[in-house]
Amino acid sequence: MAHTCEDPGAAAEAAEVLKAIANPVRLRIVAILCDEELHVNGLAERLGVAQATVSQQLRILRMRKLVDVTRQNGHAYYRLVEPHLKQMIQCMDSCLVDRGVNPS
């Protein structure tokens, strides 16, 4: 990846994306949104954490423009905006398998 290593601005932006997902709850939210759009309560249920926690973490992901929201039938549905994050999640899963951790 010559672009990131040669361009300080690109490296700084990449670091910001990594910081945005460098939280276990946010990383799990991104992983879930790789497969489907969900509303906050659906994410909270899947994650087993409070709805307020999920909302707070989604706000951070939205600020970094990694996820976006659409409103339907009184629910706010969140979706992944940056499609390349799916590849990053798959790469992380592969790294975990290589380290002997089952990412399921």
Which tokens hold the place of 95? 């790294």
Angle CA 51–52–55, to nearest 5: 85
Closest Cα to residue 42, out of 32, 30, 34?
32
Domain residue limits, the chain: 23-98
With pLDDT > 90 as the criterion, what percentage of the chain qualifies?
62
Q: What is the mean pLDDT of the chain?
A: 90
pLDDT band at 46 (very low <50, low <70, confident <90, very high): very high
Which tokens hold the place of 20? 């945005």
User: Given a cut of 60, is residue 1 above it in pLDDT?
Assistant: no
CATH of the structural domain 23-98, one choice from 1.10.3720.10, 3.40.309.10, 1.20.1250.20, 1.10.10.10:
1.10.10.10
Closest Cα to residue 54, out of 79, 73, 31, 28?
28
Whole-model pTM: value is: 0.88
Residue range 25-35, pLDDT digits in tens: 999 999 999 99
